[in-house]
Amino acid sequence: MSENLYDLLSGGFPADRSAPCFLLTGGGEVSYGALEQAAAEIAGRFIAEGVKPGDRIAMQVEKSIEAVMIYLATLKAGAVFLPLNSAYTPSEVEYFINDAEPRLFIQDAQAFAAGSRGAPPLEKAVARTADDLASIIYTSGTTGRSKGAMLSHGNLSANAKALHRAWGFSSSDVLLHALPIFHVHGLFVAMHCAFLSGCPMVWLPKFVDEDVIDGLRRSTVMMGVPTFYTRLLANDAFTREAASNMRLFISGSAPLLPGTFADFEARTGKRILERYGMSEAVIITSNPLEGDRIAGSVGYPLPGVDLRIGGGQETGVIEIRGPSMFGGYWRMPEKTAEEFTKDGYFITGDVGRQDPDGRVWISGRAKDLIISGGYNVYPKEIELVLDAMPGVVESAVIGLPHPDFGEGVAAIVIGAGEESAMIAACREQLAAFKTPKRIVFVKDLPRNAMGKVQKALLRTEYTNLFKG
């Protein structure tokens, strides 16, 4: 029996294919039937052009419905989908193309979809096993070479089913989709939940506050990165009433500040459900749909996920194993071997701890760990203290070269305040070695497209802070 992900996803499409899949701003809609037909025609064109199972199809385009059609067509044709961030420059793209050697590279989704119209449709998805490759997702790493995480049909099917169940999706849901679709969050996590339940998506090309607030009135679930939530809260038109139709707000891809969680609950009466994932394993843990959603915790491992803390201490690097775990990095067997333990756990690089009942807390990336005067400093602990201070919107704590301590603790803070008074206030709550030696006030922090603060860029920018 084929285990092509396409069959699982299309199996969730509504029986009445005239039902909407995409609800557009301004009132238009595109049906599930239209999506299915276009995917079949594009897949037919792929086959006619000689695309073979396992061939890569790369695409660098702006978000569009045609891009989704091409994604589904790629699965259906048994090829491997390789989405590229639309912000990548030509020289960055060149690296991915040389590395992945795609059969096709699509840069205009609309033209490609239009040019496939009338091609003999591929009626039946090409047979694939669970282990066959479905997609390669290049990690957004800012240092070293970007690595292509290889996700199989089985990996993505398992995660889609687990999330659909965990978050209680049904055909009566309407998903607000404002995420990019070159990343696992918008591409797999969000869309697969919609497809499996055959529900419509309020389809927004990007996050624009007014469009999102408007869209929430006709939606029931939204998935977002933390910056979506801070941007909504900064808009006065985002009221309790504007969110009243919503049953679920989900956040991930970067840490949700406890302050955002609290402000959101105060404004809307709803508790954001935070979950944790990565390109290499899609979603790993989630706060519960029923039960306590706790600010600052990413919840419990999904069913079937084995999670443990490496290193034998209470806090350490999170290691995971499970059905959605990727098969390795594309053409990097040594790198792959380095990042797995002997007993098959993936070493995530995220530092965290786990309560006896299984609940997981993340305290940052291992590479962001600061070693000052021989002591380990976990930035998150200091960030939580700073974020609770008046005048602080958000903070990023980093280690910078220091003549005495090797690394010195520095805080880059969005907000305003008096540096020495704030350092003294930190010292009341933190040991001296953890207390920032300098605080720099800024208007904003550098972030990538998914809202992740780019600490490597901060370390470069402030590298001379302790050098006199």
Binding site for ligand AMP (CB under 6 A): 139-140, 184, 252-255, 274, 276-279, 298, 348, 350, 362, 365, 450
Between residues 47 and 398, which has the closer beta carbon with respect to ligand AMP? Answer: 398
Between residues 253 and 395, which has the closer beta carbon with respect to ligand AMP? Answer: 253
Between residues 159 and 348, which has the closer beta carbon with respect to ligand AMP? Answer: 348
Q: Is 132 exposed, middle or buried (0-12, 13-18, 19+ CB in 10 A)?
A: buried
**DSSP code for 190:** I
Q: Smallest distance, Å, CB 298 to ligand AMP?
A: 5
Between residues 126 and 225, which has the closer beta carbon with respect to ligand AMP? Answer: 225
The secondary structure element, H or E, covering residue 308 is: strand 306-309
Between residues 197 and 253, which has the closer beta carbon with respect to ligand AMP? Answer: 253
Tell me the β-bridge partners of 438: 410
Q: How far apart are CA 75 and CA 83, in angstroms?
A: 13
Q: Smallest distance, Å, CB 392 to ligand AMP?
A: 19
Q: Smallest distance, Å, CB 307 to ligand AMP?
A: 13
Between residues 40 and 134, which has the closer beta carbon with respect to ligand AMP? Answer: 134
Cα–Cα separations (whole angstroms), residue 155 to 147, 279, 281, 345:
18, 11, 8, 15
Q: Smallest distance, Å, CB 153 to ligand AMP?
A: 20
CA angle, 247 as apex, 204 and 286 as ends, to 5°? 90
φ/ψ of residue 459, rounded to 5: -60, -40
Q: Smallest distance, Å, CB 293 to ligand AMP?
A: 12
Number of H helices, E strands in the chain: 15, 23
Q: Is the dihedral of CA 277, 275, 206, 41 positive or negative?
A: positive
Q: Smallest distance, Å, CB 349 to ligand AMP?
A: 6
Q: Is 302 exposed, middle or buried (0-12, 13-18, 19+ CB in 10 A)?
A: buried
